[in-house]
Amino acid sequence: MIELKNVTYTYNKNEPSARVALNGVSLTLDDGDFLGLIGHTGSGKSTLTQIVAGLLPPPEGSVSVDGRDYADYKTAARELRKKVGLVFQYPEHQLFEETVYRDIAFGPKNQKLTEDEIDGRVREAARRVNIGGDLLDKSPFDLSGGQKRRVAIAGVVAMKPEVLILDEPTAGLDPEGRDELLSMLEELHGDWCKTVILVSHSMEDIARTVKTAAVMNNGRLVMNGPVEDIFSRGDELRSMGLNTPQISRIVDGLIAAGLPLSRRIFTVGAAADEIEKIVRGGR
């Protein structure tokens, strides 16, 4: 469990260009959570994920890890770095090794595992991101864009982090690649990584993948709860530069036209179920 209390983070502190990126954010991340994190560009999502991953200089406020309070963030950050794996945006830009195998093995090697353990981790991580064994000896630069993305993610997955954070992992992928990646995350969650945070600009991806979501706006955490609750607040989301999935907007329109639908619908399948029920029920 990771708990942030009243965390504030300022870039270029004490300089004229100082900019508050996080402003009094409190967030509890329980073991087993699968959290969606949304917010406009510059809302503070990336800063928040980097603080959770222990990658920034100390913020103001307190951070506790597994119920233990740390007097200073530096000590907490050491724990966080062991626990949390962060996949940056466009992670494939960071591939660098001669072979796929060596690229995935880079992280586990730094964890001082035995050769056998490293080998096991590499193969397991590759399997989990659907990278076939025949690709392990290839150069990562000979792979397709979608494969490169998955190899880069495998590099973090192979470290078996308790908490896996992915920043816009589907950006630039085609619909099939996106579907494959999202189902891969569903399978990793709870089994290989206890906790997963998905940062995304796609409301459709959030709606179908996670149960709970947090919304950032101008450095503040403004909503945090079940996805149904969040997407039922469409007007507020739009005022923050976000939106609801297209299907929720259709459902809103149908409700306005007098159909007795629930506002808590945010996938096409659920909408079809409810509409079918109304029609067949003759209501």
Partner 1 sequence: MIKAENLSFSYEADGAEVKVFENLNIEIEDGEFVAVLGHNGSGKSTFAKHLNAILLPKSGRVTVCGIDTADESRLLELRKNVGMVFQNPDNQIVATVVEEDVAFGLENLGVPRDEMRRRVDEALKTVRMYDYRKHAPHLLSGGQKQRVAIAGILAMEPRCIVLDEPTAMLDPIGRDEVMETIRRLNREKGITIVLITHYMDEAVKAGRCVVMDKGRIVMDDSPANIFPKVEEMRALGLDVPQATELVWELKRRGLDVETGALRSAGAIEAIVKMCGKIK
Sign of the alpha-carbon torsion through 32, 36, 245, 257: positive
Nearest CA to 127 out of 98, 102, 157 is that of: 157
Q: How far apart are CB 254 and partner 1 at their closest, in Å?
A: 6
Q: First CA to last CA across the chain, in angstroms?
A: 47
226 contacts partner 1 (rule: CB under 8 A):
no
How far is it, in rounded angstroms, from Cα 186 to Cα 207?
13
Chosen residue from 177, 192, 196, 210 binding partner 1 by CB under 8 A: 177
Of 23-31, 97-105, 144-152, 157-165, the segment contacting partner 1 by CB under 8 A is 144-152
Chosen residue from 26, 30, 127, 279 binding partner 1 by CB under 8 A: 279
94 contacts partner 1 (rule: CB under 8 A):
no
175 contacts partner 1 (rule: CB under 8 A):
yes
DSSP state of 99: S
85 contacts partner 1 (rule: CB under 8 A):
no
67 contacts partner 1 (rule: CB under 8 A):
no
Which C-beta is closer to partner 1: that of 121 or that of 178?
178
Q: How far apart are CB 115 and partner 1 at their closest, in Å?
A: 29
Q: Which residue has the tokens 């409700």?
A: 255
Q: How far apart are CB 51 and partner 1 at their closest, in Å?
A: 21
220 contacts partner 1 (rule: CB under 8 A):
no
241 contacts partner 1 (rule: CB under 8 A):
yes
Chosen residue from 116, 134, 176, 235 binding partner 1 by CB under 8 A: 176
Chosen residue from 36, 39, 44, 161 binding partner 1 by CB under 8 A: 39
268 contacts partner 1 (rule: CB under 8 A):
yes
| Amino acid found at 164 | L
Question: Residue 170 phi/psi, 5° resolution?
Answer: -100, 0
165 contacts partner 1 (rule: CB under 8 A):
no
Helices marked H in the chain? 45-52, 73-83, 100-110, 115-128, 145-157, 175-188, 203-209, 227-231, 234-239, 246-256, 268-281
Question: Residue 98 phi/psi, 5° resolution?
Answer: -75, -30
How far is it, in rounded angstroms, from Cα 39 to Cα 168?
12
Q: How far apart are CB 72 and partner 1 at their closest, in Å?
A: 31
Of 21-29, 51-59, 189-197, 256-264, the segment contacting partner 1 by CB under 8 A is 256-264
How far is it, in rounded angstroms, from Cα 155 to Cα 100?
9
Q: How far apart are CB 169 and partner 1 at their closest, in Å?
A: 12
Of 8-16, 53-61, 188-196, 200-208, the segment contacting partner 1 by CB under 8 A is 200-208
Give the C-alpha distances (Å, rounded to integers) separating 211 from 60, 103, 227, 254.
Answer: 30, 32, 6, 24
Three-state SS string across 26-49, please?
EEEECCCCEEEEEECCCCCHHHHH
110 contacts partner 1 (rule: CB under 8 A):
no
Applying CB under 8 A, the residues found at the interface with partner 1 are 39-42, 89-90, 142, 144-146, 168, 171-178, 201, 203-204, 241-243, 245-247, 249-250, 253-254, 257-259, 268-269, 271-272, 275-276, 278-279, 282
